[in-house]
Amino acid sequence: MKTQASKSILKIKNPSTEQFLEIWKQYQPFLIEGVAEHWDACHKWSNDYLIDHCGSKVMSVVYFKKGFLDNYKNFAYDKNNGADEKKMQYKEYIKDIENKISNNDDTGCYLYEVDFEEYFSELIGDVTYPKYLNRKPWVNLWHGFSNKNFTSASSLHFDRIYNIYAQIRGRKRFLLFPPSNYLSFYPPLDDSSGMGHNSKVNPDLLQFELFPKFPWQERIEVVLQPGEILYIPPFWWHHVTAVDENISLSFWYDIKLQDFFRQKNMLKVFFNIAPHYIRHSISSEGSLWHMMNLFKGMIS
Ligand SMILES: O=C(O)CCC(=O)C(=O)O
């Protein structure tokens, strides 16, 4: 069996804002310990507590056909390819995943990217928003699981924001890749899906022959434990899988124009990506929307 070695990640304990910004300038991901572990969320958010406080909220959940996430072509939760969004109460979702965990069901689902302030307003007091970046975040909650036959996952992609990602319960595994050469990540620029921030590569499948230019050897693997925070810089590629039933909160912050001059290499990375977005946007409406998003926030 082919395996893949991994680089290690910098860890820092309870940094001051100055210490955070000093590392942030390096434009590298890093792990923060000793912060989120003190939030009430990390101690209180059992399924019973969540059902008591937010169980009747109705939200969208993605359901997958068997094997959906194993196919490298399913780089996004594509409805046409066997992923389906269902609306349901949070308590129904929790009961459903509890059953899927105990039955080792091979069809799965994922409550992903749910607006925390809108759907979980009762729980805001259980969390202390990180203040390292002097701007308002938008916060999303992710609740997924893993059993013997299914693992909720987010395929390899990058975002155009800073991500301060807090693990509240259970564990999540991240594979991170530095944004060196955009095209070596095989973004799906050959269709009109506007998914230019996604990669066709599933880094777990190690398809070296199919994706020869992919920077396999650059991979950084992190298994995020409850109470840990992972900082992911903009445009860094990440692939995320559940290790067990788990809940996370992502705090996303806009990039400002001046940041490009304060962080090592970020401008270079941007100029490596932007021409492909621009060229693709001429032929794709979706991509035009994504390109506008690429610039969103920078000028405010
Ligand atoms: O937790 C996940 O499944 C994905 C998280 C992610 O990609 C993000 O916050 O940007």
For the Cβ of 240 lying below 6 angstroms from any atom of ligand 1, the answer is yes
Residues 196, 287: contact at Cβ < 8 Å? yes
To test the pocket of ligand 1, the residue of 202, 250, 255, 293 to mutate (highest count of ligand atoms within 8 Å of its CB) is 250
Residue 154 alpha carbon to ligand 1 centre in Å = 6
Residue 1 pLDDT: 45
- Of 29, 249, 211, 264, the residue nearest 126 (C-alpha): 249
160 lines ligand 1 (CB under 6 A): no
Would you state the pLDDT for residue 280?
72
| CB distance 163 to ligand 1 below 6 Å | yes
- Ligand 1 probe mutation, 77, 150, 199, 238, most atoms within 8 A of CB: 238
- How far apart are alpha carbons 95 and 176 in whole angstroms? 32
Tell me, using a 6 A CB cutoff, whether residue 27 lines ligand 1: no
- Residue 140: burial class (beta carbons within 10 Å; 0-12, 13-18, 19+): buried
Spacing, Cα 240 to ligand 1 middle (Å): 6
Bridge partners, 61 (sequence order): 86
- Reading phi first (left if > 0) and then psi (alpha if -120 to 50, else beta), residue 206 is in left
Predicted local confidence at residue 107, as pLDDT: 87
Ligand 1 pocket, residue 159 CB under 6 Å: yes
Take residue 132 and report the two structure tokens written for it: 């390292």
Task: Give the integer Cα–Cα distance in Å for 163 and 56.
Answer: 29
**Token digits of residue 89:** 């109460």
- Ligand 1 atom closest to the Cα of residue 144 is 3
Contacts of 8 (CB under 8 A, 6+ apart): 220
We report the CATH number of the domain holding residue 66 as 2.60.120.650
pLDDT of residue 67: 73
Residue 143 CA to residue 95 CA, distance in Å, equals: 13
Tens of pLDDT along the chain (300 residues) come to 456 778 889 999 999 999 999 999 999 999 999 999 999 999 999 999 999 999 999 999 999 887 776 665 665 555 556 678 999 999 999 999 999 999 999 889 999 999 999 999 999 999 999 999 999 999 999 999 999 999 999 989 999 999 999 999 999 999 999 998 999 999 887 665 556 788 989 999 888 999 999 999 999 999 999 999 999 999 999 999 999 999 999 999 999 999 999 999 999 999 999 888 777 766 665 556 666 666 665 544
Expressed in angstroms and rounded, the spacing between residue 155 Cα and the centre of ligand 1 is 9
- Alpha-carbon separation of residue 195 from 55, 113, 171, 190 (angstroms): 33, 17, 27, 10
Residues 6+ apart with CB under 8 A from 52: none
Domain count, the chain: 1
Residue 190 structural domain: 3-299
| Amino acid in position 49 | Y
Q: By three-state DSSP, how is residue 157 classified?
A: strand
